[in-house]
Structure 1
Amino acid sequence: MLGGESIRGVISSLRNNETLLRSKVLLEKENLKDTEGKSSLKKASEEEIQQIGKKIRKENRKEKKILIGIAILITSVFTYFTINVIRQNTVDTESIEILKFQEKENEFLILIEKGDEWFEKGKWSNSVFYYEQAKEVFQKNYEINYRLVRSYSFQCESEFKNCHKAKELLDKLFFMFPDKEKELLEIKEKLEYEY
């Protein structure tokens, strides 16, 4: 209820202000006449109208050409900077990927080295531990899979552990790397009880 009354007051004050303003029609008529009361408009002939039209069209064409030129310039500058940013990003992402790969490769080589040290000492479970970690870095690498199955086979032979894992991994290696069959057959001979 209270809100409706305040709105009515605002509307009525706006109407009152509108009536106080001068009519716009009177202002337009005053602008058309000189101070002496004569009209400032001249009547033009057809030729003058055509010349004025041509002049206006020429100016419009000129303005359009300028606007198109500015638009092309702005677009080309924007495109140039966008392409440069994209090139820098691709170079950056490529170098980042190379660095990540090198880090993974270094980690992989360190884990293999530790596994090889334990393998030479005859500690099969420790070598299996490091080889499994290295396998997590590069899953389908033949060298690490071969070393892991070799450690499994020695562990199976001496401690009777991980024999089934050795057999499964060896079967996968025969399937994944058929060209390395000669090396894998040597390990298969150690796992004769599993086959």
Structure 2
Amino acid sequence: MGFGGSVLAMIQSLRANARPKHHAYQDWEKADKRIFKNKYKLVSKQVSPEKLAQLKTKYRKEIEKDQKRTLILTILSIVIIIPLITFGIFQFFFSNSQNNYRPYVSEAEKQKTEITIEQINYLLDSGYDWLNKSHYKNARYQFNRVLEVIPTNKDALFGMTASYVYECQKEHTNCERATELLQNYISKFGSDTKTDHLSTILKSGD
């Protein structure tokens, strides 16, 4: 490059530097600086001592209310939750102990509970055999063994009643007992031809 070429390049460079800046870039730079100043500007406000005391009192009352509310909720939780937990624990252990509990049963009670239907039928048949033979005490003994196991057994109750009625008829003893048992039997099971027959026997004895 010669001397003329370097002079020409220098003139072009001076012209480029002499051009004005782009307006859009200038506006953006000014706006950015303005936003920055407004955004981070600190503003202080003066408060009187009276106003400051009021604010402190207000905030103190709010804090006290929150503390009271928290205390009440805590107490209610304790009052409700602790009894529930205690009740649950008690039920757990008590129910288990109840399930594992086995009451003492004497040998006589075991014999009563272990009696079978065949044995009950045997005692009833034996009782009525004694009744037909007019052995009333033996009959009552057999009926009473059934009633010890099944107090509401209808056949045993009727046999017991009949034994006293026939004894009253033949031996004139235990007539009041016979009348009482017959009335009780009728009140439980109602009257029928058999009870009517026993009633006739008692009336004829009067």
TM-score interval w.r.t. the shorter chain? 0.3 to 0.5
TM-score by length of 2: 0.44
Name which one, 1 or 2, has greater alpha-carbon Rg: 2
- TM-score w.r.t. length of structure 1: 0.46
